[in-house]
Structure 1
Amino acid sequence: MGTLKKVLLVFIPTRSGVDGARSIYAEREQSLPARMLARPLRTLIRKSPFSIPPLSLMILASIRVEGVEQTICDLRLELFPDHVEWDLIGISVQTGTASEAFELADRLRSQGTLVALGGPHVTMFPEASARHADLIVEGEADDLWRRVLTDLRQGTLGKTYRQEERPDLSLPRPVFKEHLDAGRYFTTNLIQTSRGCPHNCDFCNVHVLNGHRLRQRPIEEIVGEVARFREHDGRIFFFVDDSINADPDYAEELFRRLTTLRITWFGQATTALGMQQSLLETFARSGCSALLVGIESVEPASRKAHHKNQSRSDELVQSVRNIRSAGISLYGSFIYGLDGDTLETPAAILDFINQTELDVPGINILRPTPGTQLFLRLREEGRLLFDPDDPAAFRYTFGQEMLYRPKQIPLDRFIESYGELTSRIFTVPASLKRAISAPSAKTAVGIFNLFYTHLYSLSRHDLKRQAGQFHQKNHFAIR
């Protein structure tokens, strides 16, 4: 048997949001009262392990090839291990981290280390990414990475590994967690039951990357994986599917089977769940404590403009109320700045939050992610505020940067109205009130609301600074 090949899988953090160091740790000049308020919030945030492991790297690290040893490096939580010699370093590239990923790859290659790049950004922009790598992996890497590891072992590495067919999720694909330091994370119990999305929201890249057809894992395999994970980590489970209720019959059978395991779980769903009464009851019985739902917009014109058709506008309020009445807390995600939005939209969002008593609101600025129909359309219309051919410009931060020109709202008024909206929603008293009234997961609801109170404060600060730069560049001129 030859020398053991050592492979490092690297996850790079985003600049802001839950993973971003600036949002959590940075200090800036503030008044004394503001500093007194910010200090305990930062302490609470530091002590709250928000991070979850990168599932994509967990999946790749679970691929076993004789003579190859894999290690995960999560740069959110540890320094890069420069002291170790690696036979291959694989870097997962998200659009918002492309610049940092390419810089790291270039540095490693200059030192003689082989670098593989993969992930969503590489799949969307293979030619640009290949300039920074010895090899690239295009598409879902489950089967491709086994080929890479085998070729590494045999000394026959290629330059491009391209997905010809999407992975067959009906085949056994066990995920192992021995590569993780469990104490670093909120939980290590990440479960994916399916990939793909049948919907066509133009701002989303899930159906672009994973296809429209829903590919599902065998229910028996998932039940076994949950039972195995629970033996090693008794904390909460997170089902990472983009819409855990996309196939109601499949979901109902799965969570009916999981009820006997007595787990507590979070997940992501569409608001249609509020009208799927039988499935909603099964979720509640199986231990569902909280869900993230993409409300996105309360404006019918915006939902139509961006093909958000999987739930009806006139059912949104009742759907949210039904889910909360089942004992499930809700993180409701909104996008402000869609093409049907006006300066009246913030009041409508605030009214919706108050009507539904939403537990954790999230107010996001529209992000034109490269590869989506939205990105292509905004580029065609000349509404992007960055160079679409420069990966360093893809700074997809958490509501801290304007990347495009809204259709119906002047840019300066949009920035003002976004700041006004978030300052009304995210306050310490409101955070505590939401935690008390949450139907479940009260501590998590409180922590997230306090976290967002701090985060949106930074967001308003950064947007004001960017507005000043726009004035200098005359971006506010009427077009």
Structure 2
Amino acid sequence: MKIKFILPALEEAKSPFWRPIKYSLFPPLGLATLASLCDESDEIEIVDEHIQEVILDDEPDLVCIETYITNSHRAYKIADHYRSNGIKVAIGGVHATSMPTEAKMHADTVLIGLGESSFPKFLKDLREGKELDYYNQGAVSFDYLPLPRRDLIKSEKYLVPNSMVFSRGCPNRCSFCYISSFYKGGKSFYTYKIDRILEEIDSMKGRHLYFLDDNLFADKKLSRELFREMKGMNKFFQGAITVDSVLDDDTIELAYEAGFRSAFIGFESINQDNIRLTNKRSNLVDNYRRAIKRLDQLGIMINGSFIFGLDKDNLDVFDRTTQWAINSGITTATNHILTPYPGTALFEKMKEEGRILTEEWKLYDTRHLVFSHPKISKEQMEVGYKRAYNNFYKWGNIIKSSSEHEHLKMKLKHFTYAGAWKKFEPVWNFIIKNEQLSKTRSALVKTLK
């Protein structure tokens, strides 16, 4: 069977905010994982529209499309095209799981939740001509999961081809989190066994690695075992953690010894009342500075994630948050306008209260205000969001934030990383256009060291 896996471009990848380097970071690992579950005799192709054009005049037997909320419009357009030519289409992913009835209007089959168990069953049924309209994930086990088909990925087109996960989901239940809708009503956290994790790490060449897990320290026992095994591998890696996981015990020290050099942390808000509203009990504002200081002393950079538009925010939230991040020595900032994704508790609450302004999914990109805020207008929110980014990445503020670190090595690392990431856009565009990303990986490793 000829199977084509497609990741349609996110809407923001076609917007004025388009940054080619941002959408050339990681390959579509989920599709590569599903590809590993196909038969050896199947002819398989993986297409990521962020790095290549989707050819639509071919004739595969099956097209499998991964959806996120802001690529759903494009996903449905591609699906409709193939179905009009009599080609079977299956749609899965976070958005299809949140809105399965909507997705079914554009697909022969909708795969709900994790596909590791349901996808092989779907393929078997399809070959026998008795496929169902919907497949739920059912019981999931990663004990015998094969390695992703990285041979099908155009690795030279990504800055970080060595990305992987060793867990799925998150034990936390933040009300705004898109991931929570994916695991709604069932188990929300799964892990691989240590041998399987090490096998995947060993399968990838190079010294740089990015763990895409929602929370790298969610299973402390597993994480600690992994870090002990990685010590001495001469790898440098990045990943997402929480504030409390930095302060709990010495796991962060074990991670550093294993090569952990850059942490993505969802601070979300510097207003404690906002934190309580989101059910994000793990991050307490009083602990932020302690965690930042501990990471700084170790030599771990921070990519801080912040949300604008929580109900306790006022018009000063943009400038206060930006200044706090600068004064705290945050290396890079990832800002978002609060977005009530369908399937989340936040969306249901706002829908019930009549606060949802639009269900045009293209606008659910965390850059637009799609609900009624009690204190900030749509225009004020979107202008403030842009201003926060612009101010944080001014050269003067990059220099000031770099100076907040205790040691010269961290000052230089911060300045180099933040400056290169945001201030040399034409250079990144040239590198990507000329397919030279692979040659920049050694520079990334040197910065992280």
Common fold: TM-score over 0.5: yes
Q: 2:286 aligns with which of 314, 322, 341?
A: 314
| Residue type at the aligned position of 1:446 | G
Contact 1:11 1:74 in 2 (8 A): yes
Instruction: Give CA deviations for 1:133-170 in whole Å, capped at 9, x if unaligned.
Output: 111111111121112222333343332222223x1123
| Residue type at the aligned position of 1:79 | E
Q: 1:382 aligns with which of 347, 354, 365?
A: 354
Report the secondary structure of 1:103's partner residue. Answer: helix
Assess, with a 3 A threshold, how the Cα gap between structure 1 residues 48 and 383 changes in structure 2: closer, same or farther.
closer
Assess, with a 3 A threshold, how the Cα gap between structure 1 residues 438 and 92 changes in structure 2: closer, same or farther.
farther
| Structure 2 stretches lacking a partner, 5+ long | 404-409, 427-449
> In the alignment, what sits opposite 1:470?
none
TM-score by length of 2: 0.86
Contact 2:237 2:260 in 1 (8 A): yes
Report the secondary structure of 1:294's partner residue. Answer: strand
Assess, with a 3 A threshold, how the Cα gap between structure 1 residues 185 and 82 changes in structure 2: closer, same or farther.
same
> In the alignment, what sits opposite 1:23?
17
> In the alignment, what sits opposite 1:227?
202
> In the alignment, what sits opposite 2:430?
none
Q: Confirm whether residue 192 of structure 1 aligns to residue 165 of structure 2.
A: yes
> In the alignment, what sits opposite 1:278?
250
| Residue type at the aligned position of 1:407 | P
Count of residues in correspondence between the two structures: 419
> In the alignment, what sits opposite 1:396?
364
Instruction: Give CA deviations for 1:3-30 in whole Å, capped at 9, x if unaligned.
Output: xx100000012122xx446433xxxxxx
Q: Confirm whether residue 179 of structure 1 aligns to residue 152 of structure 2.
A: yes
Once the two structures are overlaid, the 10-residue window that deviates more, 348-357 or 250-259, is 348-357
Q: Confirm whether residue 300 of structure 1 aligns to residue 272 of structure 2.
A: yes
> In the alignment, what sits opposite 1:216?
191
Instruction: Give CA deviations for 1:173-225 in whole Å, capped at 9, x if unaligned.
Output: 32231101110011221221112322121100323313555321111211121
> In the alignment, what sits opposite 1:7?
3
Partner Cα separation in structure 1 for residue 252 and residue 308 of structure 2: 28
Partner Cα separation in structure 2 for residue 426 and residue 258 of structure 1: 34
- Describe how 1:22-101 pairs up with structure 2 within 5 A: 22-24=16-18, 50-101=24-75
Contact 1:11 1:73 in 2 (8 A): yes
Partner Cα separation in structure 2 for residue 293 and residue 22 of structure 1: 26
Report the secondary structure of 1:145's partner residue. Answer: helix
Contact 2:305 2:334 in 1 (8 A): yes
| Structure 1 stretches lacking a partner, 5+ long | 25-44, 454-479
Contact 1:169 1:217 in 2 (8 A): yes
| Residue type at the aligned position of 1:447 | A
Assess, with a 3 A threshold, how the Cα gap between structure 1 residues 431 and 111 changes in structure 2: closer, same or farther.
farther
| Residue type at the aligned position of 1:206 | I
Report the secondary structure of 2:83's partner residue. Answer: helix
TM-score by length of 1: 0.81
| Residue type at the aligned position of 2:128 | Q
Aligned Cα root-mean-square deviation (Å):
2.5
| Residue type at the aligned position of 1:396 | Y
Q: 1:115 aligns with which of 86, 89, 95?
A: 89
Assess, with a 3 A threshold, how the Cα gap between structure 1 residues 421 and 80 changes in structure 2: closer, same or farther.
closer
Identity, in percent, stands at: 25
Partner Cα separation in structure 2 for residue 215 and residue 108 of structure 1: 34
> In the alignment, what sits opposite 1:362?
334
Once the two structures are overlaid, the 10-residue window that deviates more, 441-450 or 176-185, is 441-450
Assess, with a 3 A threshold, how the Cα gap between structure 1 residues 303 and 72 changes in structure 2: closer, same or farther.
same
